[in-house]
Structure 1
Amino acid sequence: MPATPFNILAVAQSGRLQYEAILLAASLRDAAPGFPGKLIFAEPQPGPLWPNNPRIGETARALLTELGAEIRPFENKHFGHAYPYGNKIEGLAVLPEREPFLFLDTDTLILGDPMTLDIDFSRPSASLKREGTWPVEDIYWPGYNGVWGSLYKRFGLDFESSLDLSQPDEYWRRYLYFNAGFFYYEDPKIFHDLFLRYALSIRDDTPEELASQTLDPWLDQIALPLVIHALGGGRDGPHGQLDGTVTCHWRALPLAYAREADAVIDHLEEVAAPNRIKKVLKEYDPFKRLIFQGRGRKARALFDRDNLPRKEQKIRNLLKKEGYWLR
């Protein structure tokens, strides 16, 4: 387990994310009321890169504070509305330097005490709960080696040492690739500075090997493995606990009802049940229908958790067909 307390960071703003943030905060308070670190929500502020006000609403803000969270503002200087996933990069700036952090997406439920994590913050890692979404095979592309190799070369990193040699050549699992649903490190400033530098370089001066590839919405997940490799991390980490026994990245509430374990869904509904929490969550119509009006349980009945489709898209398609894709 960690030798010292660490901070948990997520990004929250108006709309869906503020309601997901409430579930995250309530689940942490329920599962680990004595957690010694801080739960911090980075909040983007109005400015040139946001056409609308992205700040958390007053009722959600009050509840998050009551649940023990801190809300810290940050200014978008590089991404904003055009690429909101960039908040994961720029939001790191709100964290105190040299204090270990664990970043979580707001659509994450805390199931157990984070202080039980077998985590080495000096060796960063990120979520392996992913599919081979990027790069995409194309008739004109240079292959996985060409795409990823060009990026490692761009930043002076050793490509060969990043490979999983147990996987076949030109198969996506051979290459370091993560979901950005969680990541961690011992110093947020170092991580932030490198993440930002790599992401901006890829966006603003894209290597020609990536000419046939789209960077939206994948830019953060393209830069992330490069950052982790540069800082001496990799695939090793508490992956059976994160995305496992301690946290669940449920991603979209209809997907959660379709595929997560009974204990996860029971816990989600339990932390949402207190009146002060329910009253605010019901402001968001998809949560109102799925959690409190029982539509989530009806969607759940469409699926056999022991025999789910291998591709997530098939789950999404059935949910949409039956009218349960509410977000």
Structure 2
Amino acid sequence: MANTPFNIMIVGQAGRLQFEAVLFAASLRHYAPSFTGRLYVAEPQPGANWEKDPSIHNKAVLETLRDLKAEILPFQSHAFGQSYPYGNKIEALLAMPAGEPFVFFDTDTLITGPIDQVPFDFARPSASLRREGTWPKPTLYGPDMTEIWRALYDRFGLNFDSSLDLNQPKNYWQRYLYFNAGYFYGTCPHVFGTRFLSYATSIRDDLPRALVGQSLDPWLDQIALPLVVHSLGGGRNTLPHGYLDGVTSCHYRNFPLLYARESDAVVTALETVARPNKIKKVLKLYEPMKRMIYQGRGAKVRAMFDRNNLPRKEQALRNRIKSAGYWLR
């Protein structure tokens, strides 16, 4: 459980993600110094599914990642790519070492505690429960939420009823197994990734009738993910509460949201790992990090909100930050 060795994978590529990868790696090394697994920065390679070369060419970024003992993991985009970059997390799993437990994190995540001490049960995979009811959006005339989710479980021969949280009312989104894809884990990235790829492409290429009119972009990974987790014997709450999306990690999504809503401990963690000169010189190459972390815009956003009385919906946070002219991505 807690002492099972495991690897970590994030996705890094040209643009924003390469700088987030540096910040993730720096936070891992600072707050989990005893982590002995391998840190992979999965890097999509140029090919027919990319309009531009997505790989990392910034020498300062590559050198810093090496210094932080991150391994670049090249992979090919056969099913997704430019049209659906969220598919990177699916296809990259197949480039990892088979048969070794893994945890995937979205790159816009900070490690804030000893991740190697988290009591993962890799045989019962799970994913992030820090989410809102973003999908599906049933129409007035149906099908309803139950019918939509049941159609997906039926497509892949899965037991729908056993996935339900019967403490939640019918057609309320939390009754159904639904995750944010900001992290997920399992015993073998090849087993997990093969099934994830199969389910996601099946939904995309042969849409179940009940899903007609439902948006798949950007939700496809989060539609397929609970089906994968359920099919592999996992589910919600297989990990004790309070570790991931808690004391050991924070999926901040972007810096205005981090400064607006996250705890003082997360802000301290961000600014601690961003402070060393060798990290600062790299992160300042990315304008949103330069302005938010180093030029004080983050502190201005933070002063706008009471963390004990935040808007219930994330969109309200975004709108207030944008209205103040502080939104950066």
TM-score (norm 1): 0.99
Aligned residue number for residue 279 of structure 1: 281
Aligned residue number for residue 224 of structure 1: 225
| Paired-residue identity, % | 61
Aligned residue number for residue 19 of structure 1: 19
Note if 1:29 corresponds to 2:21: no
Aligned residue number for residue 201 of structure 2: 200
Aligned residue number for residue 104 of structure 1: 105
Q: Give 1:18's aligned amino acid.
A: Q
Instruction: State how far apart, in whole Å, the 2-side matches of 1:220 and 1:239 are.
Output: 23
CA offsets per residue over residues 197-252 of structure 1, 9 Å max, x none?
00000000000100010100000000000000000000022441000011111111
How far apart are residue 34 of structure 1 and its match?
Answer: 2.3
1:125 touches 1:228 (CA, 8 Å); kept in 2?
yes
* Long gaps (5+) in structure 2: none
Q: Secondary structure at the match of 1:80?
A: coil
Instruction: State how far apart, in whole Å, the 2-side matches of 1:13 and 1:140 are.
Output: 42
1:49 touches 1:82 (CA, 8 Å); kept in 2?
yes
Instruction: State how far apart, in whole Å, the 2-side matches of 1:5 and 1:62 are.
Output: 26
Number of aligned positions between the proteins: 327
Instruction: State how far apart, in whole Å, the 2-side matches of 1:312 and 1:115 are.
Output: 30
The correspondence for 1:291, drawn from 286, 293, 296, is 293
Note if 1:302 corresponds to 2:315: no
Q: Give 1:32's aligned amino acid.
A: A
Instruction: State how far apart, in whole Å, the 1-side matches of 2:52 and 2:255 are.
Output: 25
How far apart are residue 140 of structure 1 and its match?
Answer: 3.5
Q: Secondary structure at the match of 2:74?
A: strand
Instruction: State how far apart, in whole Å, the 2-side matches of 1:227 and 1:17 are.
Output: 25
Aligned residue number for residue 72 of structure 1: 73
CA offsets per residue over residues 117-147 of structure 1, 9 Å max, x none?
0110000000000000000121243101110
* Long gaps (5+) in structure 1: none
Aligned residue number for residue 64 of structure 2: 63
How far apart are residue 288 of structure 1 and its match?
Answer: 0.4
TM-score (norm 2): 0.98
Aligned residue number for residue 45 of structure 1: 45
Q: Secondary structure at the match of 2:82?
A: helix
1:127 touches 1:239 (CA, 8 Å); kept in 2?
no
How far apart are residue 32 of structure 1 and its match?
Answer: 1.5
Q: Secondary structure at the match of 1:42?
A: strand
1:141 touches 1:212 (CA, 8 Å); kept in 2?
no
Q: Secondary structure at the match of 1:147?
A: helix
Range with greater deviation from structure 2 (110-119 or 136-145):
136-145
How far apart are residue 108 of structure 1 and its match?
Answer: 0.7
Q: 1:4 to 1:218 in 2, by over 3 A?
A: same
Aligned residue number for residue 250 of structure 2: 248
How far apart are residue 28 of structure 1 and its match?
Answer: 0.6
CA offsets per residue over residues 11-65 of structure 1, 9 Å max, x none?
1101111111111000011012221101111000111111111111222111111
Instruction: State how far apart, in whole Å, the 1-side matches of 2:145 and 2:88 are.
Output: 27
Q: Secondary structure at the match of 2:103?
A: strand
Aligned residue number for residue 6 of structure 1: 6
CA offsets per residue over residues 172-221 of structure 1, 9 Å max, x none?
00000000000000111100110000000000000010001010000000
Q: Secondary structure at the match of 1:81?
A: coil
Instruction: State how far apart, in whole Å, the 2-side matches of 1:83 and 1:2 are.
Output: 34
Q: Secondary structure at the match of 1:9?
A: strand
Q: Give 1:49's aligned amino acid.
A: N
- Runs (4 or more) in structure 1 with deviation over 2 Å come to 1-4
Note if 1:314 corresponds to 2:316: yes
Aligned residue number for residue 161 of structure 2: 160
Q: Secondary structure at the match of 2:98?
A: coil
CA offsets per residue over residues 56-101 of structure 1, 9 Å max, x none?
1222111111111001100000100100000010010121011000
CA offsets per residue over residues 93-112 of structure 1, 9 Å max, x none?
12101100000011111111
Instruction: State how far apart, in whole Å, the 2-side matches of 1:217 and 1:51 are.
Output: 19
Q: Give 1:46's aligned amino acid.
A: P
Aligned residue number for residue 118 of structure 1: 119
1:140 touches 1:212 (CA, 8 Å); kept in 2?
no
Q: Give 2:222's aligned amino acid.
A: Q
What is the RMSD computed on CA atoms of the aligned residues? 0.8
Alignment of 1:131-150 (within 5 A): 131-150=132-151
Instruction: State how far apart, in whole Å, the 2-side matches of 1:40 and 1:289 are.
Output: 28
Instruction: State how far apart, in whole Å, the 1-side matches of 2:73 and 2:314 are.
Output: 34
Q: Give 2:52's aligned amino acid.
A: N
